Copies of this chain bind each other. A is one copy, B any other.
Amino acid sequence: MTELFTVVPPSEAFRTFLRALAPLKETETIQVRFAAGRVAAGDLPAPAALPGFSRSTMDGYAVRSADTIGASESAPAYLRLVGEVRMGTVPDRRLQPGEALRIHTGAMLPPGADGVVMIEETTLSGEEVEVLASIAPGENVFGAEEDAAPGETVVTAGKRLRPADLGALCALGIGTIGVVRRPRIAVLSTGDEIVPPETVPQPGQIRDVNAQTISTIVEEAGGSAQAHGIVRDDESLLEAAVRRALEQADGLVLSAGSSVSSRDLTARVVDRLGSPGILVHGVALWPGKPTILAVCGGKPVVGLPGNPMSALVVAWRFVRPLVRFLGGERVSDDGFDDVLAEAELTHNVPSKAGREDYFPAVLRRVDGVLQATPIYAKSSSIVSLARANGMILVPLDYGGLGAGSRVKVVPL
C-alpha cells in the first residue's frame, strides 16, 4: 500500500502529456456523405468561386441602381418591365437604362443590372414599375465570390466535420475528402475482483463496467475501441497483456482494480514499457486522483482508477481529448474544450481547495433557470451516476460550494 506521488493540477497534467505525443499521420479518403464527425486531414481550398455568379437575395426587380437615385414614395422612379429572369437560367438580355426585369430570390442577376428592388418597394401598373425607394449598388445581391473566393480555405486541417462543413463541400462539388484515420485505442481492465459482464459474479466479485464506459467515450471522441478483456492482478500476466495491447493499438487505456495494490502493480508495469514512461502519477482531481499518464515508445498509456465513477470522469477529462488529439483534431492544450454554462446549485457540494472536482449532477430548467442538483454517489457507484446529465465543475481554488450559489456546469 505505497502509492506515493505528487499530484498535479489537471490542466498541467494534460499539457505535460500532450507535449510528449503527436497526432496520427495516416489519412484516408472518404466520401463526403460519410464524413460527419471525421477530422479533416488538410486545408481544403475552394476550387471555384461560390456562388459563382451574382444572385438576387430578394423577390423583386433587377435594376440599375443609378435609375433609382432619389426615388421615394412621394417621388417614384419609373422603369419599364421588359421580362423576367427564370430560375436556374442565364438571363436572355442585357438590362438597359430605364429597364427592369422581374427576378426571384436566388436567380442570376442580369448583365447591366447592379441591384434588386424588393417587390414591397414597388407598384406595378401594366408594363410600368413604380420604384418607391432608392437602392445602392449591390443592394439585395449576393456577389459571385461572396460565399467563397477561388482558393479560399473552406475547411481547415484538424477540423471535425459538422453539417455546415459537409454542406459547403457539396456546394463546391467536392465529393471526397481526406480525413485522419480513427485512432485505435486498446481498452483493458485489471483487478482480481472483476469478472466479465456476461458472467454471474460470485460473492465478492463484481462485473466489469469500465471497459464499456471507456470504450463508449473513446468511440464518441472519434476513436475505435479495441477490447482486451480483464487481466488478474499478476505482474507478468499484466505485463504480457499490456505489451500485446500496445503493439496492436495507437494507445492504451487500462483501468486498475480498485485497490491501491492493484494500482501500484499497474504503475510498475507501465513504467517498464518504454521511455519516457510515466509522466504524471496523481492528479489534483476528484474523483480520480490516482491517475497515470504515460508515454511509452511514442504511444500514450492512461492508467485509470478502477472505481467506475472515477474511471468515467477521468476518461471524460483526459481520454476524450487524447483521442481527439491523436485523431488530428485541434485540441486546447489543457484538454478542456467544453463550453461551461452557469447553473444554480440546489444543494451543497463538498470540495477541498487545491483540487478540481467534477461532480455528477442532474441539470434541469425550472422556470427558465438552469438548476444543478449534485448526485451524492460514492465513486464505486455506476447506476446512481447514470442519472447525471451534467457535471458541476468546482475549480482548483474553491473549498466547496453552498446551495443557492452560481456554479459552472458542463451539460453531457
A residues at B contact (CB < 8 Å): 1, 32-33, 36, 46, 50-53, 55, 57, 59, 86-91, 104-108, 119, 142, 146-148, 152, 154-155, 162-173, 175, 191-194, 197-213, 215-217, 219-220, 233, 257-262, 306-308, 312, 315, 332, 339-342, 363, 365, 370, 377-386, 388, 390, 409, 411-412
Q: Is the CB of B206 within 8 A of A162?
A: no
State in angstroms the CA–CA spacing of A146 and B114 once bound together.
Answer: 73
Closest B residue to A232 by beta carbon equals: B88
State in angstroms the CA–CA spacing of A164 and B388 once bound together.
Answer: 9
Could you say which of B203, B216, B257 contacts A36, with CB atoms under 8 Å apart? B216
State in angstroms the CA–CA spacing of A213 and B36 once bound together.
Answer: 10
Q: Is the CB of B57 within 8 A of A107?
A: no
Q: Is the CB of A164 within 8 A of B207?
A: no
Q: Which of A33, A163, A171 has the most CB of B within 10 A?
A: A163
Chain B residue numbers with a CB within 8 Å of A148 are 383-384
A337 to chain B, nearest CB (A): 9
Chain B residue numbers with a CB within 8 Å of A378 are 57, 142, 146
Closest B residue to A258 by beta carbon equals: B106
Chain B residue numbers with a CB within 8 Å of A257 are 87, 106
Closest B residue to A343 by beta carbon equals: B339
Q: Is the CB of A108 within 8 A of B204?
A: yes
Q: Is the CB of A207 within 8 A of B171?
A: yes
Chain B residue numbers with a CB within 8 Å of A379 are 57
A366 to chain B, nearest CB (A): 13
Chain B residue numbers with a CB within 8 Å of A163 are 212-213, 216-217, 220, 312, 315
A352 to chain B, nearest CB (A): 15
Closest B residue to A311 by beta carbon equals: B167
Closest B residue to A46 by beta carbon equals: B383
A135 to chain B, nearest CB (A): 16
- Sorted nearest first, the 3 A-B pairs with minimum C-beta distance are A106-B258, A104-B259, A88-B193
State in angstroms the CA–CA spacing of A57 and B365 once bound together.
Answer: 34
Q: Is the CB of A106 within 8 A of B191?
A: yes
A201 to chain B, nearest CB (A): 7
- A–B complex contacts, Cβ < 8 Å, 14 sampled: A46-B383, A50-B382, A51-B206, A87-B192, A88-B205, A106-B193, A107-B193, A146-B378, A163-B216, A163-B312, A167-B382, A169-B212, A170-B212, A171-B382
A331 to chain B, nearest CB (A): 13
With A173-B207, A203-B108 as contacts: A386 and B167 at CB distance below 8 Å: yes
Chain B residue numbers with a CB within 8 Å of A365 are 332
Chain B residue numbers with a CB within 8 Å of A202 are 88, 90
State in angstroms the CA–CA spacing of A199 and B172 once bound together.
Answer: 10
Closest B residue to A91 by beta carbon equals: B204
Chain B residue numbers with a CB within 8 Å of A108 are 203-204
Chain B residue numbers with a CB within 8 Å of A162 are 216, 386, 412
Chain B residue numbers with a CB within 8 Å of A194 are 88
Q: Is the CB of B339 within 8 A of A33?
A: no
Closest B residue to A210 by beta carbon equals: B167
Closest B residue to A339 by beta carbon equals: B411
Q: Is the CB of A168 within 8 A of B88?
A: no
Q: Is the CB of B206 within 8 A of A106?
A: yes
State in angstroms the CA–CA spacing of A190 and B381 once bound together.
Answer: 52
Chain B residue numbers with a CB within 8 Å of A87 are 191-193, 204, 233, 257, 259, 262
